[in-house]
Amino acid sequence: MPSRSQVFLTDSLKEMNTSSLTVGIVGATGAVGQELVRLLHERNFPMSSLRLFASARSAGKTVEKYGKKYTIEEAKLGAFAGVDVAFFAAGGSVTKAFAADAIKSGCLVIDKSSVHRMDPAVPLVIPEINPQDLLKNQGLIANPNCSTAVTLMGLYPLHKAFGLKRYFAATFQSVSGTGAEAIRELEDQTQAYVKGQPMNKKVYPYQIFQNCIPQVDSFGADGYTGEENKMMLESRKIMGMPNLKVSTTCVRVPVVRAHSVAVNAEFEKPVSVAAAREAIAAFEGAVLVDDQAARQYPTPLDFAEKVKCGVGRIRIDTAFDNGLSFWVSGDNLWKGAALNAVQNAELMIKNGWLKKKA
């Protein structure tokens, strides 16, 4: 199996000599789907054609992107013949309905939903952390939860430096994580406030404007939400630590784009702020923004539409032995979804693991 250095992550494929692929995006009209279209073009992904799939009500509509016109196709059984790689970004029900059929047709599926993330036979991959797991795919690669991905961009390099024992986290999640309708709801409530009008709520159980909602996903019998359990289980799988202790509280905040996470972590080895900063600065997926005197630290606005996540507010944790506290911000639509999926496909191509069908 290739070493970590043999599957080094690149920012684009401009220099890549590879056959052009037929690429599909399922859920192309959604928030993540639109970001996939953008990133595939901006990162010069080697595609000879791009096919956009959505629900039956969107099928037949024409959209113009990057000087090209695309006709939306209905996502349905049999629609993926000839597609080399398909990015699924339309939710779990769509994945359940069509992913197996796409794989059967010879298509590699990279799925955003949580349906197969914890399936032992399906690799769950963040390319800066466990790219070698891509080799285990049987036609399907799972993309991690957005909060998990952003958190691990700060936590993983510290784990490599000090040996992670357990972590606690509180998330500050943007409304774009819920989708385009949630963005509209925040915008509508903001406009209603300015005009002195009543605020309507549909997406969230409470008004999101000027508010924080400590519930992301539904509650389980243990009192934790689905999002909180995803962070625990996915962290264990991605980092190869099946017994890792994790406790999280996930909160929706009135921010349009990019999630932030406050993390308190305990490690096996003695820690120092200087060594932690060095580990973050050297990591491919992170940018160190940590200058207290200059009031420099990551914010969602600063890291929206950024490839890397920002890590700062690094300090010795006063409640843990060998503990560190830090703050990380990252784009949930990019590293938490579309970008991570594209990076996984790029690595598959770069290492000869994904080629155009004959």
Residues designated catalytic: 146, 259
The answer to whether the CB of 128 falls within 8 A of the CB of 285 is yes
Contacts for 213-221 with beta carbons within 8 Å, 24 or more apart?
Answer: 213/251, 213/252, 213/253, 214/249, 214/250, 214/251, 214/252, 215/250, 215/252, 216/147, 216/171, 216/173, 216/177, 216/250, 216/251, 216/252, 217/250
In SS3 terms, the chain reads as CCCHHHHCCCCCCCCCCCCCEEEEEECCCCHHHHHHHHHHHHCCCCEEEEEEEECCCCCCCEEEECCEEEECEECCCCCCCCCCEEEECCCHHHHHHHHHHHHHCCCEEEECCCCCCCCCCCCECCCCCCHHHHHHCCCEEECCCHHHHHHHHHHHHHHHHHCEEEEEEEEEECHHHCCHHHHHHHHHHHHHHHHCCCCCCCCCCCCCCCCCECCCCCECCCCCEHHHHHHHHHHHHHHCCCCCEEEEEEEECCCCCCEEEEEEEEECCCCCHHHHHHHHHHCCCEEECCECCCCECCCHHHHCCCCCEEEEEEEECCCCCCEEEEEEEECCCHHHHHHHHHHHHHHHHHCCCCCCCC
